[in-house]
Amino acid sequence: MTIHNPEPTSTTTTKVMKANKGKDTGPEKTVRRLLREIGYPGYRLNWKKVPGRPDIAYPGRKIAIFVNGCFWHRCPHCNLPLPKSHTEFWREKFERNVARDWEKTRALEALGWTVITIWECELKDPEAVKGRLSVLLS
């Protein structure tokens, strides 16, 4: 299904949206740094050989890590409101994003992978993230 983007109402919003990247985001780089700090280098980035192209993958361990932005993936901790304009477009887009995330997780788990999701907001406490990753990777 092709959904057409609504006509932008603000040049500032257009600039902000165009600046969003799909990979090598700030949160992803932070998680990679934390993984190296706790002694788990040797990951693969955006590994194409499994469903969902995990942001970070440890193929030998069958561990996939997704680093999700709170806005785009609808963080359960932040409970962010919908944008005020083009609300129906955003509601549908976010629902598709969440459904796709769920499908990626289920497909990987069906292949025997452990899936870890790190939310952008969790990175405010890097020590807690390091502790969680240490437990899950050991």
Contact 16, 112 (CB under 8 A): no
pLDDT at position 23 is 73
In the structure, what pLDDT confidence band is assigned to residue 24 with cuts at 50, 70 and 90? confident
Mean pLDDT along residues 11-24: 61
Residue 118, beta-bridge partner list: 67
Model pTM?
Answer: 0.85
Mean pLDDT along residues 108-122: 97
pLDDT at position 21 is 59
What residues does each domain of the chain span?
23-137
Candidates 3.40.960.10, 3.40.640.10, 2.40.10.10, 3.40.605.10; CATH matching 23-137: 3.40.960.10
Judged against a pLDDT cut of 60, whether residue 138 lies above it is answered with yes
Instruction: Please give the Cα distance from 119 to 50 (Å, whole number).
Output: 21
Residue type, 52: G
Judged against a pLDDT cut of 80, whether residue 40 lies above it is answered with yes
**Interval 89-101: pLDDT, tens:** 999 999 999 999 9
Write down the mean pLDDT value for the chain: 89
**Helix 26-37 and helix 126-137, axial crossing angle in degrees, nearest 10:** 60
- Side-chain-side CA neighbours of 77 within 13 Å: the count stands at 11
Among 113, 31, 17, residue whose Cα is nearest residue 68? 31
Judged against a pLDDT cut of 80, whether residue 29 lies above it is answered with yes
